[in-house]
Amino acid sequence: MTLLAVERIKLFTTRSPWWSMLLALALTIGITAIIAANWGAEAPMPVLAAVFVHNLGLYVIMVMAALAVTTEYRFGTIKATFQAVPDRISPLVAKAVVVVLLAGLVGLASSFGSWALSWLLVDNTSELAIESANDWRHVAGVGLVYAAGALLALGVGALVRQTAGAVSIILVFALVLESVVGFIPNIGDDIQKWMPFTVAGKFIFGNPDPSVIPAGEGPPAIGELSPWGSFGYFAAIAVAIYVISLIVVKRRDA
């Protein structure tokens, strides 16, 4: 519990987490508000539309998670931490618990905030009610994706140790590489289906309730996994990268 308190204090006594949380909420809820305000009255707004831009907040939270590690390396405070806790694993696990829980809460705040504001702004809310299991997955599932994404970013930050490098890897991979890989002849589409952030999108958007999506429309099938299988795949990649980072941090000099 002491390590958790220490990591909580270290995280919240810097400005970057606060700005990151505010930016993540502002991007997701703000853009969703614009979408909802301009949604035509003739067509009902589905639950999916309320969380359509959740990825914007996800990338911001992943940058925040990476900074939680790289900032300590930048200013040398990680050395004092490792001197106080020589096993090195315990403080990193405590940091992961704090950052992952915070990321999950921000994800829930962004998704339910976007949904609630959409309910207030759209004229036709007949399909915006959260009634089915799919509806709950679309909205509440954002918190799980944020949490897993934060764990992945923590692992990248611990491996790279440089803020610019870690942030570049996260954003370039998510925003550029996963899209560009689809242009590779013959095999691009097959590879893209298994890219982690693409698969995470299947968890949020895949297999929507057909009652709120017109025939032939809606998100396409992604890969061969079910929505929950897709989250398991994304979470497994995040855990694997984080575990590798723990092994590397344990073996190399601080």
Tens of pLDDT along 169-203? 999 999 898 888 888 888 888 888 889 999 999 89
- Which helix (H) or strand (E) segment holds residue 74: the answer is helix 54-75
CB 195 within 8 A of CB 173: no
pTM: 0.90
19 contact partners, CB below 8 Å, separation of at least 6 = none
Give the pLDDT score at 1: 67
- Mean pLDDT for the stretch of residues 118-122: 91
pLDDT band at 2 (very low <50, low <70, confident <90, very high): confident
- The per-residue pLDDT of the chain, averaged, comes to 87
Between CA 47 and CA 51 the distance in angstroms is 7
**pLDDT tens digit sequence for 71-114:** 988 888 888 888 888 888 999 999 999 999 999 999 999 999 99
DSSP-assigned states of every residue in 139-184: HHHHHHHHHHHHHHHHHHHHHH--HHHHHHHHHHIIIIIHHHGGGS
Question: Each residue of 4-47: pLDDT tens digit?
Answer: 888 888 888 888 899 999 999 999 999 999 999 888 777 888 88
Structure tokens at 140: 């509440």
* 15-44: b (≥16 Cβ within 10 Å) or e: eebeebbebbbebbbbebbebbeebeeeeb
Residue 207's region, left for phi above 0, alpha for psi from -120 to 50, else beta, is: left
Domain boundaries, the chain: 2-211+218-251
- Banded pLDDT at 221 (limits 50, 70, 90): very low
pLDDT digit string, tens, across residues 132-146: 888 899 999 999 999
